[in-house]
Every structure is written in C-alpha cells, then in structure tokens.
Homo-oligomer: A and B are copies of this chain.
Amino acid sequence: MLVRKLGSIARLSDEERRAVMRLPMTIRPLPGGHDVVCEHDCPMQCCLILDGWASRYQLLAEGRRQIFSFHIPGDIPDLQSLHLRVMDHSLCALTPVTLAFIPHEAIRDLTTGYPGIAATLWRDTLVDGAIFREWMVGMGRRSAYQAVAHLFCEIYVKLEAVGLAENHRYKLPITQVDIADALGLSNVHVNRVLRQLREENLVVLRNGWLNILNWPELAKISEFDPLYLHVDRLTA
C-alpha cells in the first residue's frame, strides 16, 4: 500500500521500493470513533491508513470542533509527528480503520538513507498544506453552498486518484455534523445546503453514498480547480 501510494506521487527506484518494503510495521484495527493520537501526545510512530477513514481535528471551548482534514486509505495523517514532537491536534478514526504503525526511527533511517523518499514524503506534507489553504478559501471567501460543493469535488478527486471512486459516485462515511465542523458551519445549515444541492439535481447524499449528478455544474459553482491537489505529477 505504501509503495503504491508513494509510487503514485513519484517514481521509485527498485532499491527504494525494496527499502520501503523492509519498513517494520505493526498492523492494528481500530473501531470507528476512537482517537489514534491526541493533542499534546508525543507519538513515537506514524500510521498509514490501510482501510477506512480518519480525520484530524481540534476541540475548543463550549463543544466547538474544527475538523482539519479527512483521510483515506494510503494517507499518512500524522506524518507531522516525525518532526514536530508534540501533537497540536488530534487524529481519530471516522469509521473502523486498519492502520499500519511505523516507528519514527525506521522512517528517519529511511529518509536519511534515501533522500528521494524523504523528498516524496516531504512533498506529501506540502500537498497537505495546499489542501489546508484551499479549505481556508472555502471558509473565508466562499458561501456555505459553494464550500460544501467544493468539498465533495475535492474528495471525489482524491478518491479517484487512488482508485476508490469512479462514475462521480463514492461512499462518504461521515455525518452532516462532520461536514459542518470541517467547513465551519452549523449542522442545521449543512442540512439545508444539502437539500438545495439535491433539489437542484447536483448532488445527492443518502445512506452514506454520495452521488454527483452534474459534475461540470458542481465544479463550476464551487469554483473547483484541482490544481492544488497536485495529482498531476506523473502525467505532467
């Protein structure tokens, strides 16, 4: 899985591929809703998502919550702990997940020995940052309607890039509250936006499945430009 992920970002030499394969991993399932790491933790390992969804978030006073990102299989959502000792946010499983834990030390040895792999992982954190910026645009300068549409576009492109979605349709195992906390909205308003999107025959979200009925229009109204996802590396 990791080889596949890294290979999708940059070409790996055979030697690099073997080195990645040698990484020690502890595979462990975790039930949905459970935290993987919490704010203020100082983890000694990173995790690779083999199956399921996760999200990074932070809790604030009065029950407020901000979700920073959604993660899908192939992601390493806590790669930052490799170089930042203390977690400044938490990571939780949105669904039951299967995680492969890799000790920091092993990753550090790998990146020291193979600068190309270091660059590839580094690039991953840069894309991570690019997605944060795009979410900032959504919260700061887009309407709730556009923001929700944009999120659905983004998730589709990410899922499709790793072969987990096609035909503008995908499993979206998150609640409306999650969407609200990701976009800085209230759950009530998310519900209304979803209804509007449904009534306009753009998107239908039902029973955990998202169906994009009119992709061109959805991308247009949300001003979606996938450039920031930088999935173009190999095709460019």
Measuring CB to CB, which residues of chain A are less than 8 angstroms from any residue of chain B?
Answer: 40, 56, 58, 60-61, 64-66, 68, 80, 83-86, 88-89, 108, 111-112, 115, 118-119, 121-123, 125-130, 132-133, 135-137, 139-141, 181, 183-184, 223, 227-228, 230, 232-233, 236
Contacts and interface: CB of A to CB of B under 8 A. Distances in A.
B115 A84 contact: no
A223 B59 CA distance: 12
Given A88-B230, A125-B122, A133 B132 contact: yes
14 contacts: A40-B227, A58-B133, A60-B137, A84-B123, A85-B236, A86-B230, A86-B232, A88-B133, A88-B230, A108-B119, A135-B136, A139-B139, A139-B184, A140-B184
A56 B184 CA distance: 22
B60 A141 contact: yes
Nearest to A120: B83
Nearest to A87: B227
A58 B137 contact: yes
A140 B183 contact: yes
Contacts of A139: 136, 139-140, 184
A228 B137 contact: no
Given A58-B133, A125-B129, 18 more contacts: A60-B141, A80-B129, A83-B122, A84-B123, A88-B227, A88-B228, A89-B133, A111-B119, A112-B115, A118-B122, A125-B125, A129-B129, A129-B132, A132-B132, A132-B136, A136-B184, A139-B139, A140-B183
Contacts of A84: 123, 126-127, 130, 230
Residue with the greatest number of chain B CB neighbours at <10 A, chosen from A86, A135, A141: A141
A119 B111 CA distance: 9
